[in-house]
Amino acid sequence: MEVIIQPTADEAAHLAARVIAHEVRSRPNSVLGLATGRTMEAIYARLTEMHRNEGLSFARCHTFNLDEFIGLPPDHPGSYRKVMTDRFFSHVDIPADHIHFLNGQAADLTAECEAYEAAIRLCGGIHLQLLGIGRDGHIGFNEPLSALQSRTREKALTPATRRQNAFLFGGRWEAVPARALTMGVGTILESRRCLLVATGEEKAYILAQAVEGPITAWVTASALQLHPRCTVIVDEAAAEQLRGKDYYRWIFENEPEWAPFR
């Protein structure tokens, strides 16, 4: 795992967008794992700008979103499919049949999850998985005590997670569905590269637990410590409680891999 600290949330989002763009340019048929949440909005806005102004094309990419609420129609303003369409897919050149989403209205949710895993395998696996972190330490909707080898499945959401998503439901946390489908922690760990982005002081405590704390199902993002290629991009506010800040800064300033991004 490596941690890159940027001065502001905007700069963190821009760097994350550059890492994704670099992946897509070097492998135009990349399979991207995508995430939702407020942190992601500036990343998708920057990627959209790069598509418009710098010729970045997603025409040969496939995408798999991490998670979706159960029971919402795809055009509901709170559904992640609708959020992704409005904020990203409708602004870039990715073909509709390259966009993969869990269907939270499927009659057989277990079969839906199995089919999603099969679709990921059929595409050759995920090259780059973008991730946010929930205030309870979740990745995707892998709430505390999700098995660290879990696969795509149904999960009950914590009240904290429902509150975190209330902005998509007119600020009413009770309106946020109580259950969701999510890629499992084990599914996420199989992607070839993980990119976790966290910004803001409200993420500082849980980020330090995930990055520097013990690997525990209580904080499912801590499982990323097991991943051979995981990059964590944060702003100064989210980095506040990290013990290794000086070392992380040295790595970013000196390792040749990061030269094009400095």
Question: Catalytic residues, which ones?
Answer: 67, 136, 138, 143
**Cβ(153)–Cβ(180) below 8 Å:** no
Pairing of strands 99-100, 193-198: unpaired
Assess 39 for contact with ligand GLP (CB under 6 A).
yes
Q: Which of 12, 32, 66, 120 binds ligand GLP (CB under 6 A)?
A: 66
> What are the residues facing 193 on neighbouring strands?
128
| Tokens (6 digits) for 248 | 């992380």
Judged by CB under 6 A, which stretch of 1-9, 133-141, 212-220, 241-249 contacts ligand GLP? 133-141
Helix (H, G, I), strand (E, B) or coil at 99: strand
Assess 221 for contact with ligand GLP (CB under 6 A).
no
Interacting positions 6-35 with ligand GLP (CB under 6 A): 35
- The residue (of 64 and 141) whose beta carbon lies closer to ligand GLP is 141
Quickly tell me which residue has 């959209």 as its tokens.
Answer: 48
170: which residues sit within 8 A by CB, 6+ positions away? none
CA gap 154, 73 in Å, rounded: 17
Q: Which of 33, 104, 132, 184 binds ligand GLP (CB under 6 A)?
A: 132
Interacting positions 69-128 with ligand GLP (CB under 6 A): none
Q: How many residues does the chain have?
A: 262
Least distance to ligand GLP, CB of residue 56, Å: 23
Assess 194 for contact with ligand GLP (CB under 6 A).
no
- The residue (of 31 and 35) whose beta carbon lies closer to ligand GLP is 35
CA gap 190, 92 in Å, rounded: 27
Q: What is the dihedral of CA 224, 149, 182, 13, to 10 degrees?
A: 10
Assess 133 for contact with ligand GLP (CB under 6 A).
yes
Assess 37 for contact with ligand GLP (CB under 6 A).
yes
Assess 38 for contact with ligand GLP (CB under 6 A).
yes
Interacting positions 148-177 with ligand GLP (CB under 6 A): 161, 164-165
**Cβ(190)–Cβ(117) below 8 Å:** no
Q: Which of 33, 104, 137, 140 binds ligand GLP (CB under 6 A)?
A: 140
- The residue (of 39 and 150) whose beta carbon lies closer to ligand GLP is 39
Least distance to ligand GLP, CB of residue 232, Å: 13
206: which residues sit within 8 A by CB, 6+ positions away? 133, 134, 135, 136, 137, 219, 221
Assess 184 for contact with ligand GLP (CB under 6 A).
no
CA gap 57, 215 in Å, rounded: 37
Q: Which residues bind ligand GLP (CB under 6 A)?
A: 35-39, 66-67, 132-134, 140-141, 161, 164-165
